[in-house]
Amino acid sequence: MQPQERILELKKERNAVILAHNYQLPEVQDIADFVGDSLGLAVQASQSEADVIVFCGVDFMAESAKILNPEKIVLHPETKSCCPMAAMCEPSSLRMLKNDFPRASVVAYVNTTAECKAESDICCTSSNAIKVVNSLESDLIIFLPDENLANYVQRFTNKSIIPWPGYCPTHEAITLEKIENLKDKHPLALVIVHPECRPEVIDIADAVRSTEGMLNFIRESDAEEFIIGTEKDMLYRLSKEFPDKTFYDVPGAVCPTMKLITLDNVLAALESLSPKVTLSPELMDKARTPLDRMMAIGRGD
């Protein structure tokens, strides 16, 4: 029996739902019940009626699903699938920065550990970061952990943002030179980039969107060709949704840890009901408040 067939059987037996991020391997996207961006996946997780959530994405996404569903079993098929940017913010260093700026509100991009979320006032994703920051009363904001996203949000607010010096290695690999080369080769293509990209890349983009926001932009655009400034397997999702449009990826834009989730480990997770995401109830309670506040604000792109 093919792993796909056995996964479908087990999914029914366990009353499980499979959620996959837009950067997952094509074959993993194909067996998922829902494929989306971090916000979409968090919303799906919070509304799910399944007993088991199999989360195909990196650690912080699976943790958020567990925090939003403390009673459910949340499986993360490969625990080594971690976001290096989320690991760049240590809760102890964050507490020191908060002490230095006691008036500041703390906005945590969801790409953070549960411990950092627990230290924050509100979370955001790339789809609603501007809306979240502008919703706050404070005019001083500590924004973690992505410096590029913080600087992008700064373009759309009068508040002063103190960025955390973190970055995404995958989006750092998307350079101005690479985008200019692609534009030379495909002069009719529009450039859509993720806000985790470098500022000089954002400057020459036609649109800056979260991964799901990219789909919405393309749906409404008359253009037929697009240069996609984000992780390469986003193009699988785009090509499936828009078979008549043409997409160009940026060489080297790969998130290696997203690729650690495979059909084999999804199957093994469903068979054994492990590895389970486990967090202490106290930590989950503290981290849930900023996540709930973000969900109440909704999508911004």
**Residue 84: which of ligand 13P, ligand SF4, none does it interact with, CB under 5 to 8 A by kind?**
ligand SF4
Peptide bond preceding 145 in cis form (omega within 30 of 0): yes
In whole angstroms, how close is the CB of 222 to ligand SF4 at the nearest point? 29
- Site for ligand SF4 contains 64 (CB under 6 A): no
Calpha distance 131→297 (Å, rounded): 8
In whole angstroms, how close is the CB of 168 to ligand 13P at the nearest point? 5
- Site for ligand 13P contains 86 (CB under 6 A): no
Question: CA separation (Å) from 300 to 39, 40, 128, 207?
Answer: 10, 12, 4, 14
Residue with tokens 């979370």: 123
Question: CA separation (Å) from 242 to 101, 191, 247?
Answer: 47, 16, 10
**Residue 210: which of ligand 13P, ligand SF4, none does it interact with, CB under 5 to 8 A by kind?**
ligand 13P
Contact set for ligand 13P, span 102-141 (CB under 6 A): 111, 125-126
- Site for ligand SF4 contains 197 (CB under 6 A): no
Check: CB of residue 20 under 8 Å from CB of residue 57: yes
In whole angstroms, how close is the CB of 14 to ligand 13P at the nearest point? 26
Whichever of 62 and 190 has its CB closer to ligand SF4, that residue is 62
- Site for ligand 13P contains 210 (CB under 6 A): yes
- Site for ligand SF4 contains 119 (CB under 6 A): no
Smallest CA-to-CA distance from 161 within 172, 147, 175, 178 is with 147
Could you give the string, one character per residue 136-175, with x where binding to ligand 13P holds by CB under 6 A and - elsewhere? --------------------------------x-------
- Site for ligand 13P contains 29 (CB under 6 A): no
Cβ-Cβ contacts under 8 Å for 203 (sequence gap 6 or more): none
Peptide bond preceding 84 in cis form (omega within 30 of 0): no
- Site for ligand SF4 contains 22 (CB under 6 A): no
Burial of residue 215 (number of CB atoms within 10 Å: 0-12, 13-18, 19+): buried
Tell me which residues touch ligand 13P (CB under 6 A).
Answer: 22, 37-38, 111, 125-126, 168, 194, 196, 210-211
